[in-house]
Amino acid sequence: MRNNNSERKSLKIVIKAQILSRNNAILNRRLEDYLRQLEQKVQELTISLGQIETRLQEEIEQNQEARATFQRLKQELQNLATIDSLTQIPNRRRFDEYLNQEWDRLTREQEPLSLLLCDVDFFKRYNDTYGHQAGDSCLRIVAQTISRTAKRASDLVARYGGEEFTVILPNTNLSGAIKIAEAIQQQIENLQILHPQSDVSEFVTVSIGVVSQVPTLNDSVENLIAKADRALYLAKAQGRNRVVVAE
Residues with a known catalytic role: 163
- For the purposes of burial, counting CB atoms within 10 Å of the CB of 221, is it exposed (0-12), middle (13-18) or buried (19 or more)? middle
- Residue 211, beta-bridge partner list: 115
Q: Are 159 and 202 in contact (CB under 8 A)?
A: no
Cα–Cα distances (Å) from 151 to 84, 144, 154, 155, 209, in that order, read 18, 11, 8, 6, 19
Helices (H), the chain: 2-82, 92-109, 123-130, 132-149, 174-190, 221-237
Q: CB neighbours of 209 closer than 8 A, spacing ≥ 6?
A: 116, 117, 228, 229, 230, 231, 232, 233, 234, 235, 244, 246
